[in-house]
Amino acid sequence: MTRKHGVRCLLVPALPHVETYVQPLARVVGPTAIVAASKMYGKVIFFLALEAATQEVVEKGLAVGGLFVPLEPLEDLGIHLVLTSVPPFLPNAALLPALSTLGKPVSVISPLPLGCKDPTLHHVLSFRRQVQLLPPPAAHDGEALEGSFLVPYQGARYRVYYSTGEARCYLCRSPGHV
């Protein structure tokens, strides 16, 4: 077994028990496909019997307690891309043509929470979404991927910004320092 057999997801504070995540995962890949599961550093980590099962759950995600919980591989399957200025009515399908010019999406596009501290407001989403993207071979050569694209939808065009989320210097724009 290697890291390629592992996937992880964020631990939802209202759902702290690992079994709450194992049961929906078993519905996706089957109970015997799950080898191990544990909580670590605010995430739930799973190891699955087959590498193909890890790819399947990364693409599908999980429905845990009525919430969608995206999964990401432990073994890097590309770059983590954050999309900003995405209004909530803009469907993920409208984003796919522009994303496909940057690489191949290898996970579902998932919304990011606003991060409200008040428990009654945990459900509020930001205008940000995330996706794992496999860039074309020899593309971007380790550079941070950032820019924007226009998304046509219902007779209007929306500018969506994207970034790998790496810290960059405010003056020289180099990664690694601010």
| pLDDT tens, residue by residue, 112-132 | 888 888 989 988 999 999 988
Clarify whether residues 41 and 83 are in a common domain. Answer: no
* 35 domain residue, yes or no: yes
* 59 domain residue, yes or no: yes
pLDDT at position 110: 87
Mean of pLDDT values over 20-35: 94
pLDDT at position 168: 57
DSSP strand pairing (6-10 vs 72-73): antiparallel
* 69 domain residue, yes or no: yes
**Within 10 Å of residue 147's Cβ, how many Cβ atoms?**
9
**What are the distances in angstroms from CA 76 to CA 106, 137, 138, 160?**
11, 15, 16, 25
Identify the CATH number of the domain in which residue 130 sits: 3.30.70
Whether the predicted pLDDT of 156 surpasses 80: yes
What DSSP character marks residue 5? Answer: G
Please name which of 123, 130, 127, 166 lies closest in space to residue 146, comparing C-alpha atoms: 166
* 10 domain residue, yes or no: yes
* 175 domain residue, yes or no: no
Owning domain of residue 14: 3-73
The model's pTM: 0.57
Q: Are 112 and 129 in contact (CB under 8 A)?
A: yes
Clarify whether residues 92 and 51 are in a common domain. Answer: no
Q: What is the DSSP string of 142-155?
A: TPPPEEEEEEEETT
Query: Which of the given ranges, 32-36, 103-107, 167-171, has the highest pLDDT on average?
Result: 32-36
Q: Where does the pLDDT of residue 92 fall: very low under 50, low under 70, confident under 90, or very high at 90 and above?
A: very high
